[in-house]
Amino acid sequence: MKKAAIVVPTYNEAGTIETLIIDIFEQNKKTPNWELHIVVVDSDSEDKTQEIVTNLIKKYPRLHLIKTKKEGLGKAYIEGFTVSIEKLNPYLIFEMDADLSHDPASIPNFLHKIEKGADFVIGSRYIKGGSIPENWGIHRKILSVVGNLIIKVGFMKPRITDWTSGYRAIKSWIVKEASPHIKNYSGYVFQVAFLDYALKKHAIVAETPINFKDRNYGVSKLNSFQTIFQTLLYVFTNSSFVKFVIVGAIGFVIDFGIFYFLTKFAHLVSWKANLISTETAVLSNFMLNNFWSFAHKKVDHNKKSYIKGFFKFNLVSSGNIIIQTVGVEILKALFGIKLLYIYKVAVIVFIVIPYSYFFYNKVIWKHKR
């Protein structure tokens, strides 16, 4: 029998916590292969949350209470993870809200996905069978849908539909490895950072549909403006794709700068100048991508790997030059010469960027499992 610890952070959830605990243990009857524990992490609630949990512990020996200072959701989760691992050494850890937004009836579906080989299961509101509350205000719907879209594109992970969901089941090894990275974040950013980290560690991520229910009791702790800003900042500073685009732009400036200098001031013939400027840009792009954009999977630290990686990088870059030249010529033949610069931009955005990002990920900086 495998152990799963369901970590439930609470702040003033006296209206729902008892029902939640009873419902979760009720689900355990349907999952005989699993020993479910509940770890409530309460941050100095002013209502009766702690009292209710303390009383229930007498009836449920697999219920545990951790008391923490009020320092935000991220800190509460980290505390819950650390104590769960120390005391229970579980195989699996759940994240779950206490306000009944997350239906315990979905627990068996999460466990099923884990049994089928997933390391990290997201309860998703945006896949078939999942839903958000109908009565959510338009601004909250937009926030959630657009937020997820931006994160999805930023991280180039189109198959993950719900990045901010706080209903998840994660294998303990990932929780242990991720804790030092995610402990600096809170709220929704915490959830995004956790998933991003797991993906970079090559965890097998799966989704199971959930019907997210609106809270009926208590008060929301969501601060939308701050949340959007922090989430965007996280994506911007942690996405390989965003960094890859920045590196591309730097390469463009280096290429043009050197070419201009060599032709204008050093009076070099254009083909020689081109060769030098392009190759310098290719070298700088390779280094910047290796030590920054794809730093989490950089090529092995020896001369042979660098030379091999750089050679492959040159091949992909040559492909780039060919695609650009041919692409622009085709557009020119089809639509005339007038919009030449627009053609170049279009070819770069729609073909060159996806092409090189794909090859960088699949050939040069591929996952080593």
CB of 150 to ligand GTP, least distance (A): 18
Query: Smallest distance from the beta carbon of 190 to Mg ion, in angstroms?
Result: 14
Between the alpha carbon of residue 105 and those of residues 87, 191, 213, 350, the distances in Å are 26, 22, 13, 44
Please count the helices (runs of H) and the strands (runs of E) in the chain. 13, 7
Question: Of 86, 51, 88, 90, which Cα lies nearest the Cα of 67?
Answer: 51
SS3 338: coil
Residue with tokens 């040559």: 318
Nearest to 81 by CA among 46, 118, 114, 37: 37
**Residue 99 C-beta: closest distance to Mg ion, Å:** 4
By CB under 6 A, name the one of 4, 7, 13, 122 that touches ligand GTP. 13
Q: What minimum distance in Å lies between the beta carbon of 192 and ligand GTP? A: 13
Q: For 52-64, give one letter per residue: b (16+ CB within 10 A) or e.
A: bbeebeeeeebbb
The residue among 74 and 90 lying less far from Mg ion, judged by its C-beta, is 74
Q: How far apart are CA 63 and CA 36, in angstroms?
A: 9
221 binds, options ligand GTP, Mg ion, none, Cβ within 5 to 8 A by partner type: ligand GTP
Q: How far is C-alpha 336 from the geometric centre of its chain's CA atoms?
A: 43
Instruction: Calculate Rg over the CA atoms of the chain.
Output: 25
Span near Mg ion by CB under 5 A; candidates 209-217, 242-250, 255-263, 282-290: 209-217
How near is the Cβ of 213 to ligand GTP at its closest, in Å? 9
By CB under 5 A, tell whether 101 contacts Mg ion: yes
The answer to whether residues 45 and 135 touch, using CB atoms and an 8 Å cutoff, is: no
Quote the CA–CA distance of 253 and 196 in Å, as a whole number.
30
C-beta neighbour count of 207 within 10 angstroms = 22
Tell me how far apart the alpha carbons of residues 138 and 74 are, in angstroms, rounded to a whole number. 27
Work out which of 42, 99, 119, 162 binds Mg ion, going by CB under 5 A.
Answer: 99
Query: Which residue lies nearer to ligand GTP by CB, 12 or 277?
Result: 12
Q: Is 70 in the site for ligand GTP (CB under 6 A)?
A: yes
Interacting partner of 11 out of ligand GTP, Mg ion, none (Cβ under 5 to 8 A depending on kind): ligand GTP
- If DSSP codes are grouped into helix, strand and coil, which group holds residue 95? strand
Minimal distance, residue 195 CB to ligand GTP, in Å: 16
Which of 73, 92, 122, 143 is in the footprint of ligand GTP by CB under 6 A? 73
Of the CA atoms within 13 Å of residue 228, those in its CB half-sphere come to 12
What is the smallest separation between the CB atom of 71 and ligand GTP, expressed in angstroms? 7
Taking CB under 5 A as the criterion, the residue among 97, 119, 162, 207 binding Mg ion is 97
97 binds ligand GTP (CB under 6 A): yes
Q: Out of 4, 6, 7, 11, which residue is the one contacting ligand GTP (CB under 6 A)?
A: 11
Segment 29-48, which members bind ligand GTP (CB under 6 A)? 41-43
Q: d(Cα 106, Cα 15) in Å, to the nearest integer?
A: 21
Q: From the list ligand GTP, Mg ion, none, which binds 79 (C-beta under 5 to 8 Å, kind-based)?
A: none
Closer residue to ligand GTP in complex, CB, 43/240:
43
Choose, by CB under 6 A, the member of 142, 145, 146, 222 that binds ligand GTP.
222
For the CB of residue 172, give the shortest distance to Mg ion in the complex, in Å.
25
Residues of this chain that bind ligand GTP (CB under 6 A): 9-11, 13, 41-43, 70, 72-73, 76, 97-99, 101, 215, 220-222
Binding site for Mg ion (CB under 5 A): 97, 99, 101, 215
